[in-house]
A = this chain, B = another copy of it.
């Protein structure tokens, strides 16, 4: 059995659902999941399907080619098709904070994440022992003001060499360049410490503390050129009070960050996120 996930978006128009489901039926696929959304504001139609095919009759390339001929050209789909055969490859970028890394690797180790992690990359050596204890290669590429361009070239080479599908910035603490973003559009997941877009910029916990907020949060989003303004994948919050110090806020924030980031990673791996106009549709 091969399981195929299809993601489509296009201008909203009559008959899309019937045409697509009909096409699947003709190809002898069994739809096991269908979800659709219409953004009435922008008149965009989104659809996500999971379909099972018998291996004896299914050929991915000919399926894609028929799909394109019969549907894509007619409805002007933007489309992606993923096969369950392909195991997704994720690179993790870290800096000095370890809480998100531990959370990701703990899940990875226990089989919760059905992926490969070819390497962990950092601009510092601090977390190398953690990578080692999980038997994952660790690359140290230091970054200085002058070496930034070469460092990123090296990063890109590593990503390409290992055929990486997407990148997780697990508290990476560095601004990612346009080149990297352009090579991995909506494929670099960041976690932002604080309630985005509440306190954009440095020291958000200090701002939140000073303002006496009663709730803090964390947001995971895809990286875009505009800082901390990319499409939001997942958010969560927790209550705080005047009795919490900045240290307490940061500690509670870390707990949020690791859970929110891991949830965003799982949504991405399961192909449940669609992006349009800097906004996500989450089929969960």
Contact of A259 among B22, B112, B212, B255 (CB under 8 A): B255
A161 close to chain B: CB less than 8 A: no
A241 close to B (CB within 8 Å): yes
Number of interface residues, chain A, beta carbon within 8 A = 67
The answer on a CB contact under 8 Å between B243 and A214 is no
In the bound complex, what is the Cα–Cα distance between A255 and B110 (angstroms)?
13
Residues of B within 8 A of A235 (CB): 213-215
**For residue A241, which residues in chain B have a CB less than 8 angstroms away from its CB?**
282
A sample of 25 inter-chain contacts (CB < 8 A) reads A15-B25, A15-B30, A17-B34, A19-B25, A21-B21, A22-B22, A34-B36, A35-B35, A99-B106, A99-B107, A102-B103, A106-B106, A133-B133, A195-B198, A198-B198, A210-B279, A211-B279, A213-B235, A214-B234, A215-B217, A215-B236, A239-B239, A242-B279, A242-B280, A243-B284
> Chain B nearest CB: distance from A13 CB in Å?
9
B contact residues around A246 at 8 Å (CB):
41
- Expressed in whole angstroms, the minimum distance between the Cβ of A8 and any Cβ of chain B is 13
User: A180-208 interface mask toward B, CB cutoff 8 Å, 1 = contact, 0 = none?
Assistant: 00000000000000010111000000000
Q: How far is the CB of A173 from chain B (nearest CB, A)?
A: 15
Counting CB contacts under 8 A, is A146 at the interface?
no
Report copies per complex.
4
Q: Whole-angstrom distance between the alpha carbons of A21 and B122 in the complex?
A: 50
A37 within 8 A of B: yes
Task: Find chain B residues with CB under 8 A from A37 CB.
Answer: 242-243
A175 close to B (CB within 8 Å):
no
Q: Which residues of B contact A255 (CB under 8 A)?
A: 259, 262
Q: Looking at the complex, which one of B30, B133, B234, B278 makes contact with A14 (CB distance below 8 Å)?
A: B30
**Across-interface contacts of A36 in B (CB, < 8 A):** 33-35
A212 lies within 8 A of B280 (CB): yes
Within A108-138, the residues touching B (CB, 8 Å) are 109-110, 112, 133-134
Say whether B217 contacts A232, CB under 8 Å.
no
**Cβ-based interface call for A152 (8 A):** no
What are the residues of chain B within 8 A of A242 when measuring CB–CB? 37, 39, 279-282
Give the residues in chain B near A217, CB-CB below 8 Å.
215, 237
Closest to A40 in B: B245
Instruction: Return the chain B residue nearest A281 by Cβ.
Output: B242
